[in-house]
Amino acid sequence: MNEASDSETRRASITATALTTSLGDGLDDVWGQLLAGRSGISRLTSSFVDEYDLPVRIGGVLAGHPSDHLTRVETRRMSYVEQQALVLARRLWTTAGDPIVDSDRLAVCIGTGLGGAEALVDAVDTMRARGYRKISPFAVPMIMPNGPAATVAVEFGARAGVFAPVSACASGAEAIARGWQLIADGDADVVIAGGVEGTINAVPIASFAMMRAMSTRNDDPPAASRPFDRDRDGFVFGEAGALVLLESAAHARRRGARSIADVVGAGVTSDGHHIVAPVPDGNGIARAMRKAIAAADIAADRVTHVNAHATSTSVGDAAEARAISDVVPQASVYAPKGALGHSIGAVGALETALTAKTLASATIPPTLNFIDGDPGVELDVVHSRPRETDARYALTNSVGFGGHNVSLLLETTRLSRSAPSRMSPLD
């Protein structure tokens, strides 16, 4: 196999996206809000905030519920994350032009953090109050964390494999890494990949608050999430879900689909250090970044942009900053969680879509609330206003509790490849 064809087989083209965030639905809509410097973080209005007198009263909440787009029967038989995955997958497929795909060459990789946790709570409450006969026969399928991926696989008849990474905040990115590997290894032509997560609720807020990992800047919600800023005081929840359609370059070309950007490498590592804290020197995410770059067989100095995980926690941001400085010190850096908050299992997929858009549009949005940089953070953090970029390669990082590290390397298709398309490449 010649070098050009080998390079082509090691890339997975992102030919469509479907996402939902507190700033809106769809990549173009959210992108416009980010470029305008708007925040999706506001004061929470749910009754549980006052009921439990929670110290954290802010978050990014979705405008709608996936059940708004499903039948009553579908809603009754699926957990929230399964509903979200199915709605997004249908939207993704439509955006992609309803492609005709060999089922034996179609795979699904959808990650989640807590999965159908609320369905478990509901089932326990029902059984205690009304007995076992009132438990839904769908209770277990609603609870199982592979439910979102399996639901989508059944919907589209995917038979090349169903994968459901459960790696905390790295779940969505790991799902895309797995999808890229399936295509690179020749095991699939098309992969529905991404991440979904449940709604903001009391128990996770209480737990993270007790860790002192969440911002309590309740009096100024839009300014609460402050990635890399010296005054950061913790992360902010932001509801979201995101899927991307990955295709082999050959398959995309055959059906006339244009790629937004290509995934050309992935690195997955683990810290083996602590259940909630990263290695302080950022060694774990640094190794993941290097693995992603090595997978693409390029020099590190060719990577000139990084989408940072940067959740706005003291330890996490500092560790990632060290990793970026060590591996790609020349790179510009953007941290979306300043505007969107942290969507746990969905965030890696969401930020992959945003990184693809950065490359496709040659524009980097401003990192919100980066006012006074941490003295230990020597990074070129894009802030205050959008910045034009000529980046060909960009990394997007995800880090999860338990020591999970995932880094994805994307390459722009804006510079060297074009193809006729039946759809907008930026949807």
Residues labelled catalytic? 169, 309, 342
Q: Cα separation of 144 and 53, whole Å?
A: 30
d(CA 129, CA 145): 25
Of the candidates 353, 351, 347, the one whose C-alpha atom is nearest the C-alpha of residue 334 is 351
**Residue 93: count of CB within 10 angstroms of its CB:** 20
Distance between CA atoms of residues 313 and 97, nearest Å: 40
Q: In sequence order, what DSSP letters do the residues of 11-74 get, joined into one string?
A: -EEEEEEEEEETTEESHHHHHHHHHTT----EE---HHHHHTT-S--EEB--SS-GGGGS-HHH
Angle at CA of residue 316, ends 310 and 318, nearest 5° = 90
Identify which of 257, 287, 302 has the alpha carbon closest to the alpha carbon of residue 411: 302
Tokens for 330, please give them: 């020349």
What's the CA angle centered on 155, arms 31 and 65, to 5 degrees? 45
Would you state the structure tokens that stand for residue 371, as one six-digit string? Answer: 């006012």
Nearest one of 146, 397, 402, 352 to 242, comparing CA atoms: 352
